[in-house]
Amino acid sequence: MSFKMHSGDLIPLIGFGTYMVDGFKQTKEVLDNALSVGYRLFDTAKMYGNETEIGRALKELLPKHKLTRRDIFITTKLLPSDHGKIAYAAIEESLSKLDCEYLDLYLIHWPGSAAKLRAESWRQMVKAKNDGLVRNIGVSNYTVRHLEEILNSPEGVLPAVNQIEWHPYYHPYEVLEFCKKHGILVQAYMPLGSGSKTLLNDPHVAKIAERIGKTRAQVILKWSVQQGVGVIPKAATKSHMEDNIKLDFTLSDEDMNTLCNLKKRTKYDWDPESLP
């Protein structure tokens, strides 16, 4: 399952999130398991503080798995304090830490800055794309209002991706509809909800999972993917990694509607709605 971006590149709809993956030993072990299971998209950010470890681990692991750089997809993100003209240098820094010639996808991690700084960050990212440092550029945590700024910008380059919090407890359909209209992939971070496992323990999720013989995580992730939303779940164990990538089933319309209309509404992470 993949999505064709404006550049013609294909981005897998199921990727692997590396938030809180820390230290070279753990990073190498986690990525080794992820590669063996079949993950090819790896999502990081300067904020996560693990770009160097990921770059080093992939250099060692790709030959082991008979893969090359072209076989994998690497995403990283702009640190919020790097908005503005220094965004280009931030991209170069991430490239150096990840030890690769190009990035498959580079995102503005957070729109929490003045509109002029956001616009300058986007200009620098377009320049980096034109210079071959980055194959695709996009955003994260952008509302429709923030996306419209880019659509109206003089660069004329649309984001390939808008990565947002998205799960059955929080799903801003106005953002999804806007992105689909403009050919922008919505990619879900925290697709299973928070570490508290409240969503995983929701009785409606549990009932569906038991009835169709799938894990609760598989049901939640499939709910997103079946709507054309990419997912980047984290998993600590290889067995969970295997479950999370096995989404070759279909949820019924009734089950989809049930998950779309859970009464609980909870946003666990950053909320960009109040930003200028």
The position carrying tokens 């490239």 is 95
CA 84, 230, 178, 144 dihedral sign is: negative
Cβ distance 229 to 172 under 8 Å? no
- Whether 48 sits among the annotated catalytic residues: the reply is yes
Q: Rounded to a whole number, what is the distance in angstroms from the first to the last CA of the chain?
A: 36
Largest Cα–Cα distance in the chain? 53
Give the number of C-alpha atoms closer than 13 A to the C-alpha of residue 39, restricted to the C-beta side.
29
| DSSP label at residue 167 | B
Among 103, 101, 69, 70, smallest CA distance to 87 is for 103
Among 213, 123, 133, 205, CA closest to 169: 205
CA distances from 7 to 130, 140, 150, 164 (A): 12, 19, 17, 21
CA distance 175 to 117: 22
Report the chain's C-alpha Rg in angstroms. Answer: 18
**Residue 112 parent element (H or E):** none
Which listed residue (19, 39, 48, 142) is catalytic? 48
Residue carrying structure tokens 């199921």: 14
- What is the set of active-site residues? 48
